[in-house]
């Protein structure tokens, strides 16, 4: 999955196919952190790999 956020425009791709592209002023005004979420239960084990975070220069 790839997610790009530029100002108030968010676009996401899954396996190279664009899935969502939206423009939202609330998204553009947001401040906070990036979190990776899993749901607990059933002995779930989740691993992430090849995570890249690129900040604008």
Share of the chain above pLDDT 90, in %: 37
Check residues 46 and 3 and name the one with the higher pLDDT.
3
Structural tokens at position 20: 């969502």
Residues 6+ apart with CB under 8 A from 10: 3, 4, 20, 21, 22, 23, 24, 27
Residue with tokens 């939206």: 22
Between 20 and 5, the more confident residue is: 20
pLDDT in tens, 27-52: 889 888 888 888 777 788 888 888 88
End-to-end CA distance of the chain: give it in Å, rounded. Answer: 23
Whether the predicted pLDDT of 24 surpasses 90: yes
Q: Quick one: the chain helix, strand, coil %, rounded to 5?
A: 10, 30, 60
């Amino acid at each position: 999955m790839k997610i790009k956020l530029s100002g108030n425009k968010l676009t996401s791709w899954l396996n190279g196919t664009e899935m969502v592209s939206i423009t939202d002023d609330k998204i553009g005004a947001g401040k906070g952190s990036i979190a990776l979420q899993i749901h607990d239960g059933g002995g779930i084990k989740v691993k992430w790999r090849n995570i890249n975070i690129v900040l604008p220069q």
